[in-house]
Chains A and B, each alone.
Chain A
């Protein structure tokens, strides 16, 4: 926890210094983000390729329901999918609604030695809020990279700011995103069992995202950056003709950008790769039909078979001499030739 916290603070401080030093702005504002984008794309593809090259020796779908068996036993089509459609349906629900988190349970000792399991939906709720708000915020940011800004983004902003709180209008997604991140962090810190199994690489992405979202909120509502000038810079990157605008930009923006670049660089090599990995999880993407379809282990060497007929052909005369029963006697074999 503290290693990650220190790492994030140091990163932020470096980016702030980079943004505040005119000579380093090109490095931190343009070179670093461009490198980050390349590392992100290349690293992502590399990881996917790596997974795609790994054979799946066994059919190992995790199941949460009755497997298809006799006709009069009702199968769980989604929790123990038997067909391709069922598997795709299960994947969609998993990716879009986090169905397996919905089943999260919590074990607790109550009234002394009584162990109670109960359904805990908080993780599911906040994980869902986090991911969808992140998506909204991510899409809204395209207003900095596209010109003219697509109508859809304007509509999204209208809906997102429909509460018309404050000026500039408060976008709900950003605030919920920040709240959800704080919940996810507190969950790790307050639950002793979870805290025990949490590693720096669990805390680092969380704290980095908190830094990223926090600096973003600051830029919009508190520290106020000059958005028109920032757009000049981001459009420069998007059109591959990067330049640092003549008008000054707040160093806080460089902190925001520094966190983003770190996120992009770290992404392919961290647990955040579950974004691509979920699609390649054999526990999810295989149908549970092991009793009907043989799953071939791809790394088994090709088998060589020797049939009994071939065996008899080789040893017919010897077997005949020994008086063993034969399917084709030497006379029949000779007649055939």
Chain B
């Protein structure tokens, strides 16, 4: 092999960079899905939980447009139930434990919604 003194460091750098997820995680506990504090006393969300998990941010976007652009403050869910269109008065009333619910899942997936620059975070950790 020619130029071994350049090739070897190059290969080592390449391997170290591209196998990063594998060695950065060694020695850590097994990753588990964040355990969320679901609202006590409630059984169902605005929409089915499976759909909410993937689409809640888009629902919030729709809600925002509904409330502010179309002046429509009632949302009829797929099951026919009516909900008040409001981030604070609907979502956060049930999911009042922001830190243990929304935030826990977001932090683990590196999501940081900027909504709380303006909207009031529920303080209660009941």
Contacts and interface: CB of A to CB of B under 8 A. Distances in A.
B31 A228 contact: no
Interface in A50-77: 52-56
B50 interface: yes
A225 B54 CA distance: 5
A239 B14 contact: no
Given A52-B2, A55-B2, A167-B60, A228 B21 contact: no
B79 interface: no
A239 B24 CA distance: 9
Main secondary structure of the interface of B (DSSP, over half): helix
A231 B60 CA distance: 22
A146 B54 contact: no
Interface in B60-75: 60-61, 64
B125 interface: no
A239 B30 contact: yes
A119 B22 CA distance: 45
B63 to A, nearest CB: 10
B82 to A, nearest CB: 23
B60 to A, nearest CB: 6
Contact of B22 (A52, A148, A236, A240): A240
B126 interface: no
Interface in A227-248: 227-229, 231-232, 235-236, 238-241, 245, 247-248
A279 B10 contact: yes
The 8 closest A-B pairs by CB, nearest first: A145-B21, A235-B31, A149-B110, A167-B61, A143-B110, A238-B21, A226-B54, A224-B54
21 contacts: A41-B19, A48-B14, A49-B7, A56-B2, A142-B21, A143-B109, A148-B108, A149-B110, A153-B110, A164-B114, A167-B57, A169-B114, A224-B58, A225-B54, A231-B31, A235-B25, A236-B31, A238-B22, A239-B26, A239-B31, A276-B14
Given A168-B111, A226-B53, 18 more contacts: A44-B14, A48-B14, A55-B2, A142-B21, A145-B21, A145-B24, A147-B25, A147-B31, A147-B108, A167-B57, A167-B58, A225-B54, A228-B105, A235-B25, A239-B30, A240-B22, A245-B33, A250-B54
